[in-house]
Structure 1
Amino acid sequence: KTFRKVVKPQANAVVIYMMDVSGSMGDEQKEIVRMESFWINAWLKRNYKGLETRFIIHDAAAKEVDEKTFFSTSESGGTLISSAYKLCQRIIEEDYPINEWNIYPFHFSDGDNWSGEDTRMCLNLLQKFYFPRVNMFGYGQVESKYGSGQFLKDLEKTFPNEDRLVISKIENKEKILLSIKDFLGKGK
């Protein structure tokens, strides 16, 4: 007689939203992120009884904020994406044991990062920390006339076959629904 381990989906889920609020993210880009986050959140709340949400904003530094601040803040400054990924990592390690929680980080940015070194740090965190622990890592890149969009290219090049990474390019408000389908259509 053999025993098979059956993996049951947990009812507890946490969604950690990270938003780039640096100078290259204009009001239109931030509004797109807020609209998309709002609808993703509404869908997940309907599907998970024990849903928790956390919110992180970042430019060169990251901080955790409440929902109201996340949906209304405007900062400026440079961009260090790793600041958000490190803060998100700390939140997961301190508050969400992976055997008890479905974990869904979402990061929204225009893809402009300060340095290749910081991007390498992010890619390393994704590979070594996030992918082994999360159900899905969503990266939504908002088109911006100021941002280079390089981060999306780096993700695609580094992780061409990573199942837990879902990338969505959000060109404008009209593309929000398609982007939400990219993220939620994976059934993770």
Structure 2
Amino acid sequence: MDHPIKRDHARFRKIIKGKIRDNLRKYVSQGEMPIPKGNGQFKVPMPQIDTPRFRFGDKSQGGSGQGEGQPGDSVDGQPGEGQPGQGEAGEGEGNKELEVDLSLDELAHILGEELALPKIEPKGKKNMQSTVDKYTSIGTVGPDSLKHYKRTYKEALKRQISMGTYNPKNPIIVPIKSDMRYRSSTSKIEFENSAVVIYMMDVSGSMGDEQKEIVRTESFWINLWLKSQYKDIEIRYIIHDASAKEVDEDTFFRTRESGGTLISSALKLCRDIIKSDYNSDEWNIYPFHFSDGDNWSTEDTKLCLDILDNEIIPHSNVFCYGQVESRYGSGQFYKDLAARYGEENDNVILSKIKNKDAILESIKDFLGKGN
């Protein structure tokens, strides 16, 4: 039987998860994100949870502590007591938010429940080879750390009974070397599915801080879900205006340029990364491109479509394009992709992200098909 404290703790965590799920849209739309703590744990801000407490009823109902008197009067009638306190306000902080720790799998489960996300069906075959030792048998040799005391005791007992040396009135069991039993492992080669996510973002002058914050928030939750689906995952970042370059995560979200936009520069670099580092027969490949939809020319858009058709889409689980609305962006690239692939396509997923309130629906667009 479970200890009452464990049951209460499990019930509390269930309440916590329900609160987080109820407030998930608020967290995402306000740009709040769980803080990684290491070891797969995240710190999550929580709304205040009310605890049971006494409430005062109506005075007309009677009861102890009611009768004549005014607010501030002393309880025992001594003069000078019961008056409002005097003095300066304290310096301490107040009204702190509750924070709880949840694992990656717990957060992913909350996201999956909220958006009704299906489990991903991996496209890549096998990439990461691992040797798993499972202790499923018993051997007669091994280190002391793997000694199986229960089985050793049984062997010694059987030996003493068979030899007639066991005395029920004085049941002393003394194992000898031949009685010793050890947990024995069998090694099994397993192949785990691995994934790579390649983020591309337009950092030209028309993509402002608000647009980048949307991309940052959305990519965090996309990564969270994909990490819960794959044993091993790599993430690459590409920024571009008229030219493209690979950068680290911090540079990806902080860089802002003022030049024009050649989307093909990002797609070319993405293509080159896939060719050099990721065999599509082994890897599950997820290219994501975020832009406000402006491109330099129709000729560059034709080049983009050619690269997608022949060198990116055939090697990817799915190509995802998120168009972040900007007052300076025309949104034309979305229209060009929709005209080529349609807005309902298993290989190309398009999503319009009007503002932060649309982030969760965009994530559902991208991940809702289980590709």
Identify the TM-score tier after normalising by the shorter chain: over 0.9
Of structures 1 and 2, the one scoring higher in RCO (CA 8 A, sep 6+) is 1
- Matched residue of 1:139: which SS? strand
Q: How does 1:1-188 map to 2 (within 5 A)?
A: 10=126, 11-160=193-342, 162-188=345-371
Query: Structure 1: how far apart are the matches of 2:264 and 2:293?
Result: 12
* SS state at 1:71 partner: helix
TM-fit CA distance, 1:126: 0.9
- C-alpha separation in 1, matches of 2:198 and 2:251: 14
Q: In structure 2, what residue type is equivalent to 1:46? A: S
Q: Give the letter aligned to residue 103 of structure 1.
A: I
What residue identity is the alignment partner of 2:352?
K
Misfit runs of 4+, over 6 Å:
none
Conservation of the 8 A alpha-carbon contact between 2:292 and 2:325: yes
Q: Whole-Å Cα distance in 2 between the matches of residues 62 and 131 of structure 1?
A: 19
The 3 A distance-change label for structure 1 pair 9 and 31 is same
Contact 2:125 2:282 in 1 (8 A): no
What code does the residue aligned with 2:252 have?
Answer: F
Alpha-carbon distance between aligned partners in 1 of 2:261 and 2:196, rounded to the nearest angstrom: 25
Please say which structure displays the higher CA radius of gyration: 2
- Output the TM-score relative to the length of structure 2: 0.48
User: 1:8: how far off?
Assistant: 7.2
**Rounded Cα–Cα distance in structure 1 between residues aligned with 2:124 and 2:286:** 17
Gaps of 5+ in 1: 1-6
Deviation per CA, 1:34-72, whole angstroms, max 9, x where unpaired?
111111112111221110000000111100001121122
Residue 90 of structure 1 aligns to which amino acid in structure 2? D
Q: d(CA) in 1 for partners of 2:259 and 2:369?
A: 34
1:9 deviates by 5.5
Equivalent-residue separation in structure 2 for 1:147 and 1:91 (angstroms): 28
Gaps of 5+ in 2: 1-122, 127-192
**What letter is aligned with 2:268?**
K
Deviation, 1:139, is 0.2
Q: The residue matched to 1:64 in structure 2 has which SS?
A: strand
Q: State how far apart, in whole Å, the 2-side matches of 1:83 and 1:141 are.
A: 17
- Whole-angstrom distance in 1 between the partners of 2:278 and 2:217: 26
Identity %: 68
User: 1-side partners of 2:254 and 2:225: how far apart?
Assistant: 21
